[in-house]
């Protein structure tokens, strides 16, 4: 699941494995690809870099659960959601938690319809 999420995030960003390795500051341009192929496991600092770059939590990266974060990430790179992402990033952590609860409520209601 972790490797799949890494690949999905990278593909949605439009970058190659090598480009992303360099953007993240890895010494070798092949490192990110090794994570995607499960040939290597990132340490905690690397998980922080990756999660920060994509605007997701470490929990999202390593969790097997589907969540609101996954649904947001799927649409994160589309123009319609760019403004929402910027506003969300400006919010306090407390307000971000409230927004996530609201999104979860909306999704649950949508699934019931």
> What are the structure tokens assigned to 113, written together?
């319809």
Domain count, the chain: 1
pLDDT of residue 39: 93
- pLDDT recorded at residue 19: 93
Split at pLDDT 50, 70, 90, the class of 85 is confident
Asked if 35 contacts 42 with a C-beta cutoff of 8 angstroms, the reply is yes
N- to C-terminal Cα separation, the chain: 29
We report the CATH number of the domain holding residue 22 as 1.10.260
Segment 91-110 mean pLDDT = 86
Q: Which carries the bigger pLDDT value, residue 12 or residue 110?
A: 12
**What range does the domain containing 101 cover?**
2-112
d(CA 19, CA 84): 26
Q: What is the pLDDT of residues 23-66, one digit of tens each?
A: 999 989 899 999 999 999 999 999 999 999 999 989 888 886 65
């Amino acid at each position: 699941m972790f490797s799949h999420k890494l690949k999905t995030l990278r593909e949605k960003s439009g970058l190659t494995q090598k480009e992303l390795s360099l953007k993240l500051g890895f010494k070798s341009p092949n490192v990110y690809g090794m994570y995607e192929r499960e040939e290597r496991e990132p340490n905690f600092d690397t998980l922080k870099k990756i999660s920060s770059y994509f605007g997701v939590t470490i929990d999202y990266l390593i969790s097997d659960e589907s969540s609101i974060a996954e649904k947001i990430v799927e649409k994160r790179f589309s123009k319609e959601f760019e403004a929402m992402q910027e506003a969300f990033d400006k919010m306090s952590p407390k307000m971000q938690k409230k927004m996530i609860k609201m999104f979860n409520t909306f999704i649950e209601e949508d699934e019931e319809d």
